[in-house]
Structure 1
Amino acid sequence: MTKNSFANMQPGQCSRRDFLKLSGLTAFSVGGMMFLSGCGPAAQDSGTDSTGAGSAADDADAGEATLGDGQTLRVGMEAAYPPYNWQVNEESDYTIPIDNVDGAFADGYDVQAAKIIAEGLGMDCVAVKLSFDGLIDALNSGQIDIVCAGMSVTPERADSADFSDSYIDDDIVMITKKDSAYAGATTFADLAGASILGQAATMYDTVIDQIPDVNHMTPAETQPLVVENLNTGTCDIITYSMLSVPKLIETYPDFVELEMTDKFEDSVMPDNAGIAKGQDAVLEKINEIIAGISEDDRQQMWNECMDRQPA
């Protein structure tokens, strides 16, 4: 589940959204595999003076650069929004444990980014599985240390948390069935009368208001439910992640992307990491890490996640 003129998050809903543009450290993929070394806490200077006492200034500097307990990075996500994040039952080189689900692991693009961020901070990381619209509250209550969940910064979200630079960017497109009366639509006017579905509490839902004279359906809670509604004929059209279309059409060969000349406004969805406010040194470090991920590595990570994601 993004992103620019996005919906306000509402407590108690379980939702996500569609997709995003790209994002650092130095150790990435080799031969199609992700290798992240040295996940233990970073070695710290003793910071002692000639008397053996630590400097208060040194302690303050160290504290400013520490996220959470400085050892285990608790990463909030839905674990239900492939290829950004999803849950699996087996551990692999790509996964991290889901701390609040016994025997479960998280995989996905957000997970790979979180692993790189944790590596750069000298930390291990675990996922914490939560509803999408509860992530900011969990961040500010201290339940999690960072959000990596296909979430885009919006003015509303920026009031409650600080966000990193993007580590991938997506856009929103529309999908229908090949035999749909709307399969040849190229303008918003061509969609008059169509029933269009998006994901709750995301831009996938709110952008539908830009299309006149359509049936804006009550949004589904997750992306898999959005897709299922199109597959079963409950709706005519769905909004979807541009980056994820190739895998979707491979899985559902009777689906087709609408080739629109009319475009949604403010629909680009960056994938930003979120942390609690007041941690400027940590945010600066996270941005340095993200900046170190090359465009090629981002694309390779995305492609591999598209190949691994569940149908």
Structure 2
Amino acid sequence: MVGKDKIRIGMEAAYAPYNWQVSEASEYTIPIDNVQGAYADGYDVQIAKILCKALGGEPVAVKQSFSGLIDSLNNGQIDLIIAGMSATPEREESVGFSDPYFIGYFGLFVKEGSPYQSATKLSNFSGATVLGQKDTMLDTVIDEIPGVVHKNPVDSVPTVFSNLLQGTCDAVTYNTENEKGYMAQNPGIVPIHFAEGEGFKQEVTSNVGCRKGSDKLLKLIDKTLKGVSQEERDQMWDACLDRQPA
């Protein structure tokens, strides 16, 4: 892949602040190869720009569902996954993953006025129906809740919040680093602020995915990521939080 003119980056382009779709090009965007006149922005896109510069190619986004990314990678339809994907043991069976380029945490949102709104620990949600996004840790982390009713997951984060607002579940999982953004996009949802040590134990990492056995490529990706300081990462993240669609 090193020196390849066009490097195809798989992502949803619907998972702000990691990635989202816009209609105009800017210094922050890359073209979406399979959607005419569309561009991708977000934290994943900024990471893709840095990596592809080191790889000697131009990044283009390939928009598709999160659950189809690994198959597309292994079928040769995309070259890299940079989509807020976590390196789980199950995924590592078929994908090679980089070191993390982001580390975050999980939380729960409820609807305003919910009887669970004053909860302070996960055990308060025993018997509650909780929903997450399909094929992500936002779904699997639900099993940390004792006695939970684990609702069948849905395909996207917007659909998760739609279900919560429609009252089809009691709570939904989310990535806490984008709490303000989710609240701005979904009026009427309230975050649960757990007492210390009473929330989810699991962290969520974002890792670059490439085809299994691409050791040389992974080594170059990890070397490039290591060269991005935490200060630079924080600045990019904060800028994406400010820029993401409302």
Q: Same fold (TM over 0.5)?
A: yes
CA displacement at 1:124 relative to structure 2: 0.8
Matches within 5 A, 1:1-311: 66-67=1-2, 70-252=4-186, 254-261=188-195, 262-265=198-201, 267-311=202-246
Q: Distance in 1 between matches of 2:27 and 2:97?
A: 27
Contact 2:24 2:38 (8 Å CA) reproduced = yes
The structure with the larger Rg is: 1
Query: 3-state SS of the aligned residue for 1:244?
Result: helix
Structure 1 counterpart of 2:200, which letter? F
CA displacement at 1:159 relative to structure 2: 1.3
Q: Distance in 1 between matches of 2:235 and 2:65?
A: 28
Query: 3-state SS of the aligned residue for 2:102?
Result: strand
Contact 2:101 2:206 (8 Å CA) reproduced = yes
CA displacement at 1:165 relative to structure 2: 0.8
TM-score by length of 1: 0.74
Point out which structure has higher relative CO (alpha carbons under 8 A, 6+ apart): 1
- The Cα offsets for residues 104-159 of structure 1, whole Å up to 9 and x where unpaired, read as 11111111100110111121110111221211111111111111010011111111
Any unmatched runs of 5+ in structure 1? Answer: 1-65
Contact 2:85 2:207 (8 Å CA) reproduced = yes
Contact 2:11 2:65 (8 Å CA) reproduced = yes
CA displacement at 1:239 relative to structure 2: 0.5
Query: 3-state SS of the aligned residue for 2:87?
Result: coil
Q: Distance in 1 between matches of 2:63 and 2:6?
A: 15
Contact 2:82 2:209 (8 Å CA) reproduced = yes
Deviation larger for 77-86 or 226-235: 226-235
CA displacement at 1:233 relative to structure 2: 2.6
Runs of 4+ deviating beyond 6 Å: none
Q: Distance in 2 between matches of 1:226 and 1:130?
A: 17
Query: 3-state SS of the aligned residue for 1:305?
Result: helix
Contact 2:122 2:146 (8 Å CA) reproduced = yes
CA displacement at 1:162 relative to structure 2: 0.9
Percent of pairs identical after alignment?
49
TM-score by length of 2: 0.93
CA displacement at 1:81 relative to structure 2: 1.0
CA displacement at 1:270 relative to structure 2: 0.9
CA displacement at 1:256 relative to structure 2: 2.3
CA displacement at 1:250 relative to structure 2: 3.6
Tell me which protein shows more strand as a share of its residues.
Answer: 2
Query: 3-state SS of the aligned residue for 1:184?
Result: coil
Any unmatched runs of 5+ in structure 2? Answer: none
Q: CA RMSD in A?
A: 1.6
**Which residue number in structure 2 is paired with residue 36 of structure 1?**
none
